[in-house]
Structure 1
Amino acid sequence: MTVPLFDTVLVANRGEIARRVIRTLRTLGIRSVAVYSDADAGAPHVREADHAVRIGPAAAAESYLSIPALLAAARETGARAVHPGYGFLSENVAFARACADEGLVFIGPGIRALEVMGDKIRAKEHVAAHGVPVVPGFSAIGMDDTALAEAAVATGFPLLVKPSAGGGGKGMQIVRAVDELATAVETARRVARSAFGDDTLLVERLVERPRHIEVQVLADEAGNIIHLGERECTLQRRHQKVIEEAPSAVVDAATRELLGKAACAAAASVDYRGAGTVEFLVAGDRTEDFFFIEMNTRLQVEHPVTEIVTGVDLVEQQIRIAAGEDLTLRQPDIGIRGHAIEARVYAETPARGFLPATGDVLEWRPAPGVRTDAAVETGSVVTSDYDPMIAKVIASGDDRHAALTALDTALADTVILGLDTNIAFLRSLLEDPEVRAGRIDTALIDRLPTPSPVPVTPAILRAAAGVLPDGSTRAADAAHASALWRSGSGWRAAGPRPARTVAFLGDDDAVHDVRLEGGEDEREPGVGPAVVGSDGAVWVHTRSGAQRLRPLTRREATFVGLARTGRAANASSPEVGAPMPGAVTAVHVSHGDPVEAGERIVTIEAMKMEHPVLAPHAGTVHLKVAVGDQVRRDQTIAIVRNADEASPAD
């Protein structure tokens, strides 16, 4: 059945999500309305929409999570439907109800599906009753610590403690023995309250060395349900997906049919409508042993790989189904052609434990020849207000090997300067022998060593020096000079610039010198472009990853060397610095308490990730922050004094 589509749709999201939805709306001839917070006033999705409405300040709770603000924007612009994207309110039943009360079509499933599948405990019990296999476990609702411990012992270790509400792996804790349970429960509940406003917990048996396989489904009002094959989402870090591909390297046609039938059964059990994803845990390479994890009642971040191998625009299908059209696709119409693989590019610093990064995007150039869904462009500002994922790079090929190779090349050709990203780490992950062979599990990344900074090479140093006016001028001053002065072309009114030596401080905390001869070509293949940031640091692109170098005067270079010598002579500093910018969400000790080496002092949260800050050695702690404080990277948050040291002035 063909029905008229909507004339105007409000996109209740931001970044690459909003841009993705707007792209299909434009193809369908539907007017798009973007919403934005103060932090996103200049964001690409705001300009690309046909109309844009400010909905509040930077804080998500006062903008993208504000149901009244979103409804007001829809009324103001005459929108007939709301596409929630993924994340934020996309699975929020209160938002879906509010849209219905307002006379707006919520481009997503019905209320019942949102209610049942939005609660992991209820969802698990529900699908089990409809023949879908589930992992053994229990709900911790109403349990005190003693009852919870008894139930955990009865279920058997190892266990996974996770919030019932929400998703994305937030708050999940692995428990291998009963004495680890109390700390895991405390952490999971705190994260759940903060992220989802609900600290209900679910405890499940942990399946060792599992694979994470999910199945895309589409369903219409008439009850037609199809699946579009599976996606392999096993490569994860801290329960957050990093690399996704379709199809899975280990799922054969028979298992694909079994997974698809289970996914369709789960969707049918709640009268599902629209696009959804049913997630399964597979025990190792035994794909016939799979267990329901949850159903995401929305589009997934990784949906592009399914679109590429099936040729189906999932956003278009969502819109048509929401408008009342019946599915024109039937299961025999769905075929898997070739292989597609996606890498999530995060603003983070892998060498510092993958801590979130912020900054100005000084240069952005997506790789040619592949699909890139990005939240940023040159001039964008990445803050700690939202998720750290800034782009997705998606490549394809006739087979898995070709797709892996194409993605590696695309990542090498993706230029983003001005903030740290995980691109170098992604490339090293794609080269891992186990990844290449398809022998993966969800803990593979966690077993890898901490990534090291990209080595500083003479070619990188020459490229960095090439964008400075001369070797003696401070880059901080150069950053405010004219475009010609900062271009690094080497042009001078009086002829070529003379030979000079430039010193840089690298991310490896070492001083690097480079001597440039006058008139030589400072750009080399595979290195560049290079730009100077507002703080004076020089960013250089290489195929191995971006480099940040801080130009030093000779005096500064001497002091850096002395400081390194002094640090080596001391076991540890009494000053404890913040490893990342963010908010203090928990203080685990009191001012003046004795602490042991490695004991948690505070927890800092940024970009939806918690990071505990530990005591560097035993001593007495003197706190410099409190819960709720915003801290800068490297800001002193505590001082841990040995017993024989004088107490600092407070």
Structure 2
Amino acid sequence: MFDTVLVANRGEIAVRVIRTLRALGIRSVAVFSDADADARHVREADTAVRLGPAPAAESYLSADRLLAAAARSGAQAVHPGYGFLAENAAFARACAAAGLVFIGPSAEAIDLMGDKIRAKETVRTAGVPVVPGSSGSGLSDAQLAAAAREIGMPVLLKPSAGGGGKGMRLVRDAALLGEEIAAARREARGSFGDDTLLVERWIDRPRHIEIQILADGHGTVLHLGERECSLQRRHQKVVEEAPSVLLDAATRAAMGEAAVRAARSCGYRGAGTVEFIVPGKDASAYHFMEMNTRLQVEHPVTEYVTGLDLVEWQLRIAAGERLPFTQEDITLTGHAIEARICAEDPARDFLPTGGTVRLLREPQGEGVRTDSGLSPGAAVGSLYDPMLSKVIAYGPDRPAALRALRAALAATVTLGVTTNAGFLRRLLAHPDVVAGVLDTGLVEREAAGLVVREVPPEVYAAAAAVRQATLEPAVPDGGWRDPFAAPTGFRLGGEAAPVRHWLRVAGHDPAPCDVRPDAAAGQVTPDRVRVTVDGVLHTFHRAGDWLGRDGDAWHVQDHDPVAATLRGAAGAHTADALTAPMPGTVTVVKVAVGDEVTAGQGLLVVEAMKMEHVIAAPHAGTVTELDVTAGATVAMDQVLAVVDPHGSTPDDTREEAS
């Protein structure tokens, strides 16, 4: 076994790998960019090495800097986590050339299975059923479009070199193929450095089932059962569970054997996952989609139901050990479900968010585990993946696991950064999810009903109570407080009058809230607020001007209606300005000042946390201002461009506003 292992990743997966290294008595080496100098994974490792500036290309994705860090720290092996370099054959070869053990499969297996086109051809030869689609690598746009029309709409465009849903595009209208192919290539190139695409038949209402495999270097290949990953949004998994309610014992065994054949076909070694797409009405009609040659984000649910530490077995296999158990020894006990906590705002179409973690509560305990890279004070930016943590719950059966996970999500508090925790809690209570009637489109179909659009009145009441407590001066011991020293509603000889506070929750219109000081007294502490509204007591977590409850969070700020009116009267182009919906980087600028545009026309593309967002014209008109260029970094709500509607001029607009 190794003495020292370098973890070539960041965030929650680095923390998770370090946990197993510590349990095995292996010295851990973390790496970090300038943006992560005080990150949790850096503090939890035995030692840490700086890689370089914040951009991933100059730090976490730099093979040269990672290898230099390994040499400086005395590491004998490199664990790549998942993502980044975990499926990079060149990095695996570079590790070997530097005398380091790459904790993962061989570079040849990564190459083969990392190319989805070759992978399909290889496993088909091994007798594994595959999804109908295009054949051959390096297809031009025209060839891809022709293949799509031959297969029949709808189709799915997929990057050959990547995974995780990046660059995938579902196309239902053949007229949009050219535009969607261009967008898929651009996103694939940005995510994987390779814009090769393939096209596959889209199966409506499919289920996504994947099989975990382990293979040692001595010819043993085993499967550890399946995970159901059908709850997805934009092809990104959000909830995963093991086992799947869809499979019976015979189908589970058949899919497991198919996964083992797929792994053997590429000479696989280590932990990996074979992914299948399964028609919901016929589980036996499964098709191979791809093989992920790395540890999966959702591996904890398999760990719970098998009792195996997959990171430990990655390390043991990489060190040359044999698997000491057989397929018959693998049993699945109980049920486990995982939810991914991401920095995104469900109420704003899941746009990426950011900020500083001001209050953190992450559930841990019997049957509940949180894998996280967060710590109080951590800064969440737009440079890296939006996933912050994973909450995993285990129970003797699926209903028990669901209840435990919903409770754990309600207890999860991440104030300072808007997350999807509350949305996930409501998703797990959806009748179809509870019944196990799943498909990969369920989240998209039901998302609108699971998002809290309006701010509950008790949120304003709690925020107003905080403001009131802040305004009221403390009474000196044995002293006297001037009742007129603060806006407390004090009246001579009468009942105290309500005090009005104007408040604004991010993303919502400002609202007034009246507080009776006597009702608010004693309900505000540094980290909690309790208010009674319509006879019901509500309790919130609190951190500054953030409030949280049951996984949801609200950023509540003071609002001055007079100042806002003056700003609005003085401003120009208010309705015509295009602003950044989230912090990120402008990757494409399609227009110039003076261009005529149509309503809904894409003008710019902003990328944040590896996702592209098209900024479109709000109406037909003329581009009169363009305040950014490609490559520019922008803040949330920053003005990017202004489109004056046809029939008006900037001067006309200013005159109307005044």
TM-score, L = length of structure 1: 0.91
Q: Which residue of structure 1 lines up, in the alignment, with residue 607 of structure 2?
A: 605
Q: Deviations over 1:287-311 (max 9, x none)?
A: 1011111111110000000000110
Work out the CA distance in 1 between the residues paired with 2:430 and 2:573. 35
Kindly report which structure 2 residues correspond to 1:51-70, keeping only aligned pairs within 5 A, or say none: 51-70=47-66
The structure-2 alpha-carbon separation of the partners of 1:458 and 1:194, relative to structure 1 and needing over 3 Å to count, comes to closer
1:139/1:541 CA distance change after superposition, 3 Å: same
How many Å separate the matches in 2 of 1:457 and 1:301?
Answer: 34
Report if aligned partners of 1:357, 1:419 keep a CA contact under 8 Å in 2. Answer: yes
Q: Secondary structure at the match of 2:134?
A: strand
Are the equivalent residues in 2 in contact too, given 1:169–1:238 (CA < 8 A)?
Answer: yes
Deviation at residue 503 of structure 1 after TM alignment = 2.6
Following superposition, the deviation at residue 510 of structure 1 comes to 2.8
Q: 1:199 to 1:491 in 2, by over 3 A?
A: farther
Alignment of 1:2-401 (within 5 A): 5-139=1-135, 141-369=137-365, 370-401=368-399
**Take 1:80 and 1:324, find their aligned partners in 2: how far apart are those partners?**
14
Q: Is the counterpart of residue 527 in structure 1 residue 542 in structure 2?
A: no
After superposition, what is the alpha-carbon deviation per residue over 1:484-505, rounded to whole angstroms, capped at 9, x for unaligned? x9xxxx7765578845443311
The offset of 1:444, in angstroms, is 1.2
C-alpha distance in 2, partners of 1:521/1:456? Answer: 20
Q: Post-superposition shift, 1:255?
A: 0.7
RMSD over equivalenced CA pairs, Å: 2.4
Letter of the structure 1 residue corresponding to residue 609 of structure 2:
M
Q: What is the letter of the counterpart of residue 373 of structure 1?
A: D
Is the contact made by 1:245 and 1:340 (CA closer than 8 Å) also made in structure 2? yes
- Cα distance in 1 between the residues matched to 2:629 and 2:423: 34
Q: C-alpha separation between the residues in 2 aligned to 1:316 and 1:64?
A: 23
The one-letter amino acid paired with 2:632 is D
- The C-alpha deviation readout for 1:322-371, integer Å capped at 9, x for no partner, is 00000012111111111100000001111111010010000101124310
User: Does the alignment pair 1:539 with 2:546?
Assistant: yes
- Are residue 427 (structure 1) and residue 425 (structure 2) matched? yes
Check the 8 A contact 1:462/1:516 in 2, yes or no: no
| Aligned match of 1:515 | 515
**Distance in 2 of aligned mates of 1:612 and 1:169:** 18
Which residue does the alignment assign to 1:444? 442
**C-alpha deviation, 1:520, in angstroms:** 4.1
Deviation at 1:403, TM superposition (A): 0.8
CA displacement 1:573-621 (0-9 Å, x = unmatched): 1111111111111123333222221111111100001111111111112
Give the superposition deviation at 1:631.
1.4
Cα distance in 2 for partners of 1:628, 1:315 equals 38
Partners of 1:201 and 1:255 in 2: CA distance: 31
CA change 1:149–1:366 in 2 (3 A) is closer
CA separation in 2, counterparts of 1:42 and 1:160? 41
2: CA distance between counterparts of 1:561 and 1:333?
A: 71
Distance (whole Å) between structure 1 residues aligned to residue 280 and residue 190 of structure 2? 33
Q: Deviations over 1:551-591 (max 9, x none)?
A: 23xxx134557989999xx9981111111111111123333
SS at match of 1:424: helix
**C-alpha separation between the residues in 2 aligned to 1:12 and 1:112?**
20
Provide the rounded CA distance (Å) in 1 between the counterparts of 2:475 and 2:320: 64
Q: Is the 8 A contact 2:464 2:515 kept in 1?
A: no
Q: Give the C-alpha shift of residue 458 in structure 1.
A: 4.9
Q: Is 1:576 equivalent to 2:584 in the alignment? A: no
1:594 to 578, 593, 596: 596
Structure 2: distance between partners of 1:174 and 1:400 = 31
Contact 1:527–1:543 under 8 Å retained in 2: no
Contact 1:140/1:201, CA 8 A, preserved across alignment: no
Q: What is the CA distance between 1:252 and its match in structure 2?
A: 1.1
Structure 1 residue matching 2:552: 3-state secondary structure: coil
Unaligned runs of 5+ in 1: 474-484, 533-537
Distance 1:115 1:528, change over 3 A: same
Aligned counterpart for 2:637 among listed residues 612, 628, 634? 634
- The question of whether the paired residues in 1 share the 8 Å contact of 2:604 and 2:615 is answered with yes
**Contact 1:230 1:246 (C-alpha < 8 Å) held by counterparts:** yes
SS in 2 for 1:214: strand
Instruction: Indicate if the aligned counterparts of 1:279 and 1:294 stay in contact, CA closer than 8 A.
Output: yes
CA separation in 2, counterparts of 1:345 and 1:32?
A: 26
Q: Which residue of 2 aligns with 1:503?
A: 502
Matched, 1:549 2:556: yes
Q: CA deviation at 1:179?
A: 1.1
How many angstroms apart in 1 are the aligned matches of 2:467 and 2:574?
A: 36
Counterpart CA distance in 2 for 1:59 and 1:330 is 44
Q: Structure 1 residues 562 and 249, CA, compared in 2 at 3 Å: closer, same or farther?
A: farther
Q: SS where residue 505 of structure 1 aligns?
A: strand
Q: Unpaired segments of 5 or more residues in structure 2?
A: 490-498, 531-536, 654-658
Deviations 1:120-177 (A, max 9, x none): 1111111111011101111474444443332222222211111111111111111223
Give the aligned partner of residue 647 of structure 2.
644
Task: Give the letter aligned to residue 360 of structure 1.
Answer: T
Match of 1:412 in 2: 410
Q: Is the 8 A contact 1:276 1:297 kept in 2?
A: yes
Q: How far apart are residue 625 of structure 1 and its match?
A: 1.9
The residue identity in structure 2 corresponding to 1:608 is K
2:533 equivalent in structure 1? none
Give the aligned partner of residue 587 of structure 2. Answer: 585
**Distance in 1 between residues matched to 2:145 and 2:138, nearest whole Å:** 13
> Residue 138 of structure 1 aligns to a residue in which SS?
coil
Aligned residues: 620
SS in 1 for 2:232: strand
State how far apart, in whole Å, the 2-side matches of 1:457 and 1:565 are: 30
Q: How far is 1:68 from its partner?
A: 0.8
Shift in alpha-carbon separation, 1:621–1:167, aligned structure 2, 3 A: same
AA at the equivalent of 2:594: G
Confirm or deny: 8 A CA contact 1:55 1:64 kept in the other structure: yes
Between 174-183 and 236-245, report the one with greater CA deviation. 174-183
In structure 2, the CA distance between the partners of 1:129 and 1:111, relative to structure 1 (3 Å rule), is same
Q: C-alpha distance in 1, partners of 2:445/2:504?
A: 30
Q: Is the 8 A contact 1:454 1:547 kept in 2?
A: no
Rounded Cα–Cα distance in structure 2 between residues aligned with 1:315 and 1:526: 42
Give the corresponding residue for 1:460.
459
User: Would the aligned equivalents of 2:77 and 2:103 in 1 still touch at CA under 8 Å?
Assistant: yes
Answer yes or no: is the 8 Å Cα contact 2:573–2:642 preserved in 1.
Answer: no
For 1:476, the equivalent position in structure 2 comes to none
3-state SS in 1 of match to 2:646: coil
Structure 1 letter corresponding to 2:5: V
Give 1:435 shift.
Answer: 1.1
- Structure 1 CA distance for aligned equivalents of residues 516 and 337 of structure 2: 42
